[in-house]
Chains A and B, each alone.
Chain A
Amino acid sequence: MLYREAGDFKTSYRDDGQTFPIRLDRWAYYAALAVAFLIVPFIINDYWANAVFVPFLIYAIAALGLNILTGYAGQVSLGTGGFMAVGAYAVYKLMTSFPEINIVIHILLAGGITAIVGMLFGLPSLRIKGFYLAVATLAAQFFLVWLFNKVPWFYNYSASGQINAPERTILGFAVTGPATSAPAKYLICLVFAFALAWVARNLTRGMSGRKWMAIRDMDIAAEIIGVNPLTAKLSAFAVSSFFVGIAGALLFSVYLGAAEVGEAFGINKSFLVLFMIIIGGLGSIFGSFAGAAFMVLLPVLLKNLLVGGLGWPTDLAAHIELMIVGALIVFFLIAEPHGLARLWALTKEKLRLWPFPH
């Protein structure tokens, strides 16, 4: 009875265009933000930060980025891992070259650099479409990983070929390096995830988003009604890569601390993020978060259940995880191509009518 818009009239177009038109949704959103910002930082410990919250937030950013490109603009990319690597190596070079500058600026710059690289690899999208493009983005994936592996300048000629994040602080608190506390890791990722989700929402509800979706739904018609395909596609690649680059920068500097490119940013990473948006929901901001949560939690749960609970060996659990993930992808594509976000919307739709469904 509570969950409906009856009586919740909109008197201006501004109100009508807001993100959560239903009052209860708005409250739920503010409540979630309050918990995330004011409660979780005080109770979080290392296990929860490292196993769940920090990877969830970082992958949510990457999923948002890929969702802008694939879900909104309709350009499938299998190069996410490679672009995350660009963000990671960019932030590494910036951190070590300009230690006096704040890490937040480095992370944003790393996103900017990735955006430029993304646009470069997005250029072929003007000529080729669909899975031709998907395979073309594999070129970005393999080439970038190879580049960071083979050119020693990128890893500052370190003997191991690895990159290691030095300690950097914000307001006196370490956010990178081994001394970082769990709340600090969590908070910096939370701030980035929150701000970027807000930007993604703004872009997708405005004219840029409409241009992207027009290209996605019918590119020829979009061009005839006045969408410039060049700027629409390249802006999608740029924004998407900006997000993915920041995710890569955070993954390396805040979460992993040390990374070897082939292992941390291989093709499997590309698929992981793609699965997140399929399961979460293509073309949905909420879906990017839901999908990231799902794909981060699944291995944790399986590990606890199979290894912790039943005492099975970890490699077996890993293989079973592959099967479950694969089966779930197929299942979601068959049952609900719009993913968790649509399931959630349908539930709300039902709730709105409850208890009088007719």
Chain B
Amino acid sequence: MDQMFFAAEVLLNGLMTGVMYALVALGFVLIFKASGVFNYAQGVLALFAALTLVGIQQGQVPFAHMINAMFGTHIEHFGWTVPSVLAILLTGAVMVLLAFLIEKLVLQHLIGQAPIILFMATIGLAYFLEGLGDVMWGADIKNLDVGLPQGISETIETATAEWFGYGFFIDRLDIWATLIAALLVAALVGFAQYTKQGRAMRAVADDHQAALSVGISLRFIWVMVWSIAGFVALVAGVMWGTKSGVQFSLSLIALKALPVLMLGGFTSIPGAIVGGLVIGVGEKLFEFFVGPMIGGATENWFAYVLALLFLVFRPQGLFGERIIERV
């Protein structure tokens, strides 16, 4: 009986992790839909956002490490701290600026290239951003705290203990993350469906040429989409950062959004969410039931192998459209 409750708890935790994956995957889907770019850098974008947030919040001097090395100074901090809300707004502004620069310096020059070239360009971008983040803010592991509640929720533990005779351990942060992610998704869907810019975005996603011919500015849409993706990355970065510290592995965890996408299909927002949940739950349950038999740490590969096997049988993903080949 306990085993079953334990498994249920694992399942719940998997769902929460899945929400995080879905959040990063959402950024991928947005960019892919609007520009056909498969943005490998999305994970690093989340890392960069989290690094910037911590840096601004704690009043770090950007590039301090490099300045010190160049001029032999010892500056580290401005000596002030910035309130969380303001820091988040400032980071948001940085992400918009970054989106603008990426469009201007990279994407614009790659229009019309094969998708796989664009993909590799974003791998280059990921390396650049990772280096930039480290040079700007330092590579040490940082704590991120924007005032989100953390720790085991005692309310749930006592309540479930009363109902089932078994107290569920659930992190309050996970609950908040789920709520915020749900809100974010709702807001994005609303934006895409009901605003003028949202309609333009969907038009671009459908057909670049047709969108251009009715007077939609591709550049504006791309900057906007990358900004939104940067914002989504910021939210994901805050969640992951609060949970396990801001460090390089954050961008690796975000890599898991790739199998999520393969499961859900590159163009489907519901797909990203369902895919995220399936993988989050799947890897936790697999680790729980099978992991101990084969040495554990199966989370490293489970998502990828699952996606691979899945793709062999359904190449277009869960919600993707079937591709008809022609000559």
Contacts and interface: CB of A to CB of B under 8 A. Distances in A.
Given A127-B311, A333-B110, A333-B117, A322 B69 contact: no
A136 to B, nearest CB: 5
A316 B66 CA distance: 7
B315 A127 contact: yes
- Which of B120, B298, B325 is most buried by chain A, counting CB atoms within 10 A of its CB? B120
A135 B135 contact: no
B18 to A, nearest CB: 18
By secondary structure, the B interface counts as helix
A76 interface: yes
B124 A131 contact: no
Contacts of B139: 315, 319
Contacts of A139: 259, 301, 304-305, 307-308
A143 interface: yes
B119 interface: yes
A235 B12 CA distance: 45
Given A315-B139, A326-B127, A130 B116 contact: yes
Contacts of B298: 146
B268 to A, nearest CB: 14
Interface string B243-270: 0000000001001001101100000000
Q: Select the residue from A311, A320, A334 with max chain B CB neighbours within 10 A.
A: A334
B312 A124 contact: yes
Given A128-B311, A130-B115, A337-B117, A274 B134 contact: no
Given A150-B296, A334-B110, A135 B262 contact: yes
B69 A312 contact: yes
Contacts of A333: 110, 113, 117, 120-121, 124
A329 B129 CA distance: 13
B311 A132 contact: yes
A323 B131 contact: yes
A319 B135 contact: yes
Contacts of B124: 275, 325-330, 333
Interface string A264-287: 000100010011001000000000
A330 B128 contact: yes
Given A220-B327, A329-B123, A322 B304 contact: no
B53 to A, nearest CB: 19
A260 interface: no
Contact of B127 (A310, A312, A322): A322
A325 B127 contact: yes
A271 B130 CA distance: 14
B238 interface: no
Contacts, number: 143
B295 A142 contact: no
Interface bracket on B: 35 or more
B131 A131 contact: no
A275 B123 CA distance: 9
B208 interface: no
A145 B305 CA distance: 13
Interface in B59-78: 65-66, 69-70
Nearest to B323: A129
A138 B255 contact: yes
Contacts of A278: 120
Nearest to A218: B327
A308 interface: no
Contacts of A312: 66, 69-70
Contacts of A134: 116, 119
A119 to B, nearest CB: 15
Contacts of A271: 123, 127
Contacts of B116: 76, 130-131, 134
B1 interface: no
A326 B119 contact: no
B257 to A, nearest CB: 10
Given A274-B120, A330-B106, A316 B127 contact: no
Contact of B300 (A146, A151, A327): A146
A145 B304 contact: no
B311 A326 contact: no
A134 B259 CA distance: 11
A139 B315 CA distance: 16
Contacts of A167: none
Determine which residue in A124, A135, A220 has the highest number of CB atoms from chain B within 10 A of its CB, and name it.
A135
Nearest to A334: B109
Contacts of B294: 150
Interface string A137-165: 01101110110011100000000000000
Nearest to A313: B69
Interface in B289-310: 294-298, 300-301, 304-305, 307-308
Contacts of B119: 76, 131, 134
A220 B294 CA distance: 41
A325 B110 CA distance: 18
Nearest to B326: A220
A136 B300 CA distance: 14
A322 B296 contact: no
26 contacts: A76-B119, A123-B312, A130-B116, A132-B315, A134-B116, A135-B259, A135-B304, A136-B308, A138-B258, A141-B304, A142-B300, A220-B325, A267-B252, A271-B127, A310-B69, A312-B66, A312-B69, A313-B65, A313-B69, A319-B134, A322-B128, A325-B128, A329-B120, A330-B106, A333-B117, A334-B110
Given A326-B124, A329-B120, 5 more contacts: A131-B115, A136-B311, A145-B300, A310-B70, A319-B135
Nearest 5 CB-CB pairs, A to B?
A329-B124, A326-B128, A322-B131, A326-B127, A323-B131
